[in-house]
Amino acid sequence: MKSNDPKKQSAKTLNPKRELFCYLYARDSHCMGNAAQAYSEAYDLTQGQYESATRAGSRLLRFVEVRERIQELLDECFDQKTMDRELLKVALQDKDLSSKVAAIKEYNRIYGREAVPEKTIVEFSWLDPEPRPNGRERKAR
């Protein structure tokens, strides 16, 4: 007996617009991770319909077959090489310095190039160890 619950339908039942939504949400550099933007583009909505797209995109993400398809698309494209390239993009950009530094630290951590801080011992004395040119030593305060 076939289930009538749309959230439990097979991933093979995605219509072309839902398939496009999944692709845009998972892979498109302009829409990636933004359900409203992916929905707007997949369903040809105008900018004035952004609020509707936000609700509809969120609703689509509740469907099991949509989430499964997005996961399949993500699994296909996020391999080691792709992740290195994306991390490198962040490290090479100049707009957000904190993201750049974080990306460089992460890249170095992944590849075992973390700098291990050396212990530095600094000795300090109020007295000069060297005699002064006039022969008098500095007094302790």
18 lies in a domain? yes
Mean pLDDT by 10 residues, the chain (141 residues): 44 85 87 89 88 94 94 81 78 83 80 68 64 59 56
Q: What is the pLDDT of residue 83?
A: 75
For residues 94 and 134, membership in a common domain is answered with: yes
Same domain as 10, residue 34: yes
Q: How many domains does the chain have?
A: 2
pLDDT at 43: 94
Q: Where are the alpha helices (DSSP H) in 1-94?
A: 16-27, 35-42, 50-60, 64-77, 80-92
pLDDT at position 35? 92
CA proximity to 14, closest of 52, 64, 55: 64
Task: Kindly state whether residue 86 falls inside one of the protein's structural domains.
Answer: yes
Query: Which DSSP state fits 48?
Result: G
Question: How would you class 57 by CB atoms within 10 Å of its CB: exposed for 0-12, middle for 13-18, buried for 19 or more?
Answer: buried
Looking at residue 115, its pLDDT comes to 61
Residue type at 62? R
Q: What is the pTM of this model?
A: 0.53
Q: Alpha-carbon distance 116 to 123, whole Å?
A: 22
pLDDT of residue 31: 76
